[in-house]
Amino acid sequence: MAKSNYLNHKIAIVGCGYWGSIIVNSLINIGYKNITIYDNKYENSLILKKKFKILNISNNYLKLIKNDSIKTFFFATPPSINFNLIREAIIRKKNIFIEKPGFAKISEFKKIIELSKKYRPLIMFGYVYCYNSYINFIKKIIINNKLGKIKYISFQRKNLGPIRSDVNSCYDLSSHDLSIILYFFGRLPKIIKHIHYPILKKDISDISNLHMDLNKIYIDISTSWLNPNKERTITIIGQKKMLFYNEMDLDNPLKIYNKYAKYPDLTKFNKRFINSKAKIHIGQSKSFKLKQTLPLTNEINHFFDCIRTKSKPKSDINFAIKISKFLNTIN
């Protein structure tokens, strides 16, 4: 089916809060027009309708989900209420896009997986970094061994707020970086140590440092919602070169440094005549600025491509449950 024809199909958005409004805006910008919205707080729907005049409003979820003319549903709803919503959508064989992490409990993931075996819906989870042009470019660099063997990766994800009262900063923020790791390598690392600090409230950590190991690749994820500056960086140390990605730098976001440090191999030489200090190599570095579309636009287009081609999404339910299992070990 041609994409232009698919733009006329009916879509439902469940959840009209901050992220639901972002999804609506992206859908409209892509060209989708037949959109119905629902929120259990009707005033949220009215606010969104005021912003986007073309929207239709439903005030009854069961009536909306029973509408056979609407095949595709986007859920921007809290994990605590998602299980019953998604179960109804699966039974009625809807195409389902659900914002991360999806569900509050691993048992709910497992029940949805079992239900999906019977009804075979298309379910995709919104891990937007898997659809970021720079993250895709970095993955190709790793696959093509441009940096040499990867030794170390550092993720920095910090800002002042938003501050949660139900989960710690690691659970709230590190899921993005865990999704990148899983996307890069197909598996998640093992935790070596988790150091975290409750600053504002006794039982909830505001600053977190995860130290991990993935088959001798050492990985750190630092998260904080008590930081004066917004930081979104990835540093990759390879055997041959180093990479630095700064999401906040719009002019010069990605650099590959032709730099490395290495100790000499003393097994082939007499130690009396060889300096055992590490040697530092500094060569020419290169910057990259990609022509890119918005990651959420890429994500939505991927979702509809999977619907049309009946393909498995990059961030399917098996992808999502791996991240949730990992997070549940550190929360």
Give me the pLDDT at residue 302, please. 97
One domain, residues 70 and 174: no
One domain, residues 87 and 139: no
One domain, residues 19 and 81: yes
CA distance linking residue 95 with residue 201, whole number of Å: 40
Give me the pLDDT at residue 2, please. 47
Looking only at the bridges linking them, the beta strands covering 259-262 and 279-282 are: antiparallel
Per-residue pLDDT, averaged over 147-171, amounts to 93
One domain, residues 108 and 230: no
Q: Are 147 and 242 in contact (CB under 8 A)?
A: yes
One domain, residues 87 and 161: no
CA distance linking residue 307 with residue 42, whole number of Å: 30
Per-residue pLDDT, averaged over 133-137, amounts to 97
Q: Is residue 116 classed exposed, middle or buried when 0-12, 13-18 and 19+ CB atoms within 10 A define those classes? A: middle
One domain, residues 183 and 94: no
**CA distance to 147, 184, 305, 323, per residue, from 155 (Å):** 17, 14, 30, 16
CATH number of the domain bearing residue 315? 3.40.50.720
Q: What is the pLDDT of residues 201-221, one digit of tens each?
A: 988 999 999 999 999 999 999
One domain, residues 249 and 173: yes
One domain, residues 119 and 60: yes
Q: Side chain identity at 33, as an amino acid letter?
A: K
Please give the tally of structural domains in the chain: 2
CA distance linking residue 266 with residue 277, whole number of Å: 11
One domain, residues 168 and 276: yes
The separation between the first and the last C-alpha atoms of the chain, rounded to the nearest angstrom, is 44
One domain, residues 247 and 308: no
The closest of 156, 330, 164 to 249, measured between CA atoms, is: 156
1 has a pLDDT exceeding 50: no
pLDDT-above-70 percentage for the chain:
93
Q: Are 213 and 219 in contact (CB under 8 A)?
A: yes
CA distance linking residue 238 with residue 253, whole number of Å: 19
One domain, residues 206 and 149: yes
- Where in the sequence is the domain holding 50, given as residue range(s)? 3-127+295-328
User: Which residues make beta-bridge pairs with 11?
Assistant: 35, 72
CA distance linking residue 196 with residue 206, whole number of Å: 8
CA distance linking residue 114 with residue 302, whole number of Å: 24
pTM to 2 decimal places: 0.91
> Which segments within 103-225 are labelled E, that is strand?
123-126, 150-160, 190-197, 207-214, 217-224
Out of 22-36, 108-122, 155-169, least confident range: 155-169
Which pair of tokens denotes residue 304? 């509809």
One domain, residues 147 and 278: yes
